[in-house]
Amino acid sequence: MVLQRNSTVQVWGWGRAASTVAITASWSKDTVRTVIDGGGTWRAELPTIEAGGPYTVSVESGNQKITLQNLLLGDVWLCSGQSNMEWGGEQNLKEILDELPQVNDNQIRLLQVSRYAADYPQEDITDSWQVLNAENLRSFSAIGYFIAKEFRKELNVPIGIINASWGGTPAEVWTPSYYINNDSRLLEASEKQTAASFRPHRKGVLWNSMIYPLKNLKISGAFWYQGESNVGTWSSYDQLMQNLIASWRTAWNETLPFYFVQIAPFNYNNKTALASLLREQQLKTVQAVPETGMVVVSDLVDNVADIHPIQKRAVAQRLAAIALHDHYQKKGQDYKSPLYKSHEIKGKTIVVDFDFLSNGLVIKDAPLTDIYIAGADQVFHPAKAAVQGNKLVVSSTEVSAPVAVRFGFSESAMPNLFNSKGLPVAPFRTDNWILK
């Protein structure tokens, strides 16, 4: 496995009440001791050093001794969500199948958390860490693997990746039930999730079994790709995600970095563009919650009739890039997709300004697509747009007194506006009108 470097990690387990446990690590001359409590559980804190290994950790109590071998000190990250985070070689993703013959980095370790649900928080999982190889990678998260590969290249330290994902799951199952039960709005939305044969739907059940048991394991942060199963209950998704993030940070007792993917273009065939409203909720979350980042993938879809885009490597690289800059403090500009910041009406035009934009906008294969403008009548017309540095100037001959702009605001839009690094501008609207 990988333990978090330069930190104090938890070591825990079970044993005979009132017995002493002695823990020794091969990177240290010190022995850590603790006493098993009356309930038969124990936990101790073990200081770690710089990245490296392999090391051993021995745990002794009475005449019992357990030795953990081939441990590395590095960085540990948690990946979670639904199928777009879960998928890999078993779903015949070509990017992973192409990797299998050349996988050879034993400094990457994988922990696949088994998929099962529980009505109450669990203290343990039955899964074991594995060294990266072709056999273990095939069934692992493609995004998780490519994040680890990117970190290895940029940080040159051992990387541990945990994959706790389950296809088709709504965010409610990954959130402690008491957060939902004590909020009428979240509770109402959660009750609209229906049973299905391929995944659980009840609030909190995967938090209990796939996240809670990990809470003592020191990690660097989390990556999240989910939202498709909450499109139908979009209106409370920002509130739900803020609660999910807060609950995870409370469990780990630190402000974990939380980086997530905005859902991809897909033909949901809703009469109203509900997926656009879900993406808008995701935008609200990243703008409201500190130590978060959002990856936009509107340009990484080959088929809007497939809810599982096959380009996972680029998604992972964008997630890793945010972590490298925000968490690891590797300086750079325009490493995030530009997000709508504000707008100003100037005569017959609306001028839009953006956050996370330093070196200008680029329209690939002009003219700009999926851009619309409306007046006070709330009727949107196709618009023309011109780039002026870091601003977008929008107008239409059909609208003499503009009031609002919408960009990429449909379920399957794949617009062609990017920053200078090739990252797409996040879809946005400047109005708050009810969608027709």
* Closest to 312 (Cα-Cα) out of 294, 325, 324, 300: 300
Distance CA 42, CA 11 (A): 8
Count the neighbouring beta carbons within 10 Å of the beta carbon of residue 346.
Answer: 11
Give the HSE-up count for residue 268: Cα atoms under 13 Å, Cβ half-sphere.
22
pLDDT tens, 391-424? 999 999 999 999 999 999 999 999 999 999 999 9
The whole domain housing 271 covers 73-326
Q: Is 104 part of a structural domain of the chain?
A: yes
pLDDT tens, 129-162? 999 999 999 999 999 999 999 999 999 999 999 9
Assess whether 410 and 321 both reside in one domain.
Answer: no
Give mean pLDDT, residues 18-31. Answer: 98
Assess whether 228 and 309 both reside in one domain.
Answer: yes
Assess whether 61 and 112 both reside in one domain.
Answer: no
Assess whether 269 and 409 both reside in one domain.
Answer: no
Give the HSE-up count for residue 115: Cα atoms under 13 Å, Cβ half-sphere.
15
pLDDT tens, 205-233? 999 999 999 999 999 999 999 999 999 99
Domain end call among 275, 297, 326: 326
Residue 370 near residue 408 (C-beta atoms within 8 A) = yes
pLDDT at 436 over 90: no
* pLDDT value of position 89: 97
CATH number reported for the structural domain that contains residue 65 in this entry: 2.60.40.10
H/E/C letters for each residue in the chain? CEEECCCEEEEEEECCCCCEEEEEECCCCCEEEEECCCCCEEEEEEECCCCEEEEEEEEEECCEEEEEEEEEEEEEEEEEECHHHHCCHHHCCHHHHHHHHHCCCCCEEEEECCCCCCCCCCCCCCCCCEECCHHHHHCCCHHHHHHHHHHHHHHCCCEEEEEEECCCCCHHHHCCHHHHHCCHHHHHHHCCCCCECCECCCCCHHHHHHHHHHCCCCCCEEEEECCHHHHHHHHHHHHHHHHHHHHHHHHHCCCCCEEEECCCCCCCCCCCCHHHHHHHHHHHHHHHCCCEEEECCCCCCCCCCCCCCCCCHHHHHHHHHHHHHHCCCCCCCCCCCCEEEEEEEECCEEEEEEECCCCCEEECCCCCCCEEEECCCCCEEECEEEEECCEEEEEECCECCCCEEEECCCCCCCCCEEECCCCECCCEECCCCCCC
Assess whether 7 and 86 both reside in one domain.
Answer: no
* pLDDT value of position 57: 98
Q: What is the mean pLDDT of the chain?
A: 98
Q: Is 403 part of a structural domain of the chain?
A: yes
Assess whether 33 and 160 both reside in one domain.
Answer: no
Give mean pLDDT, residues 273-278. Answer: 98
Assess whether 50 and 89 both reside in one domain.
Answer: no
Give the HSE-up count for residue 416: Cα atoms under 13 Å, Cβ half-sphere.
9
Q: Is 331 part of a structural domain of the chain?
A: no
Give mean pLDDT, residues 330-351. Answer: 97
Q: Is 78 part of a structural domain of the chain?
A: yes
Distance CA 291, CA 117 (A): 29
Percentage of the chain exceeding pLDDT 70: 100
Assess whether 217 and 242 both reside in one domain.
Answer: yes
Assess whether 115 and 202 both reside in one domain.
Answer: yes
- Band the pLDDT of 336: cuts 50, 70, 90: very high
Find residue 295's DSSP bridge partners: 261
Number of separate domains in the chain: 3
Assess whether 345 and 410 both reside in one domain.
Answer: yes
Q: Is 435 part of a structural domain of the chain?
A: no
Please give the model's pTM, rounded to 2 decimal places: 0.98
Domain end call among 298, 326, 354: 326
Domain end call among 42, 72, 102: 72
CATH number reported for the structural domain that contains residue 228 in this entry: 3.40.50.1110
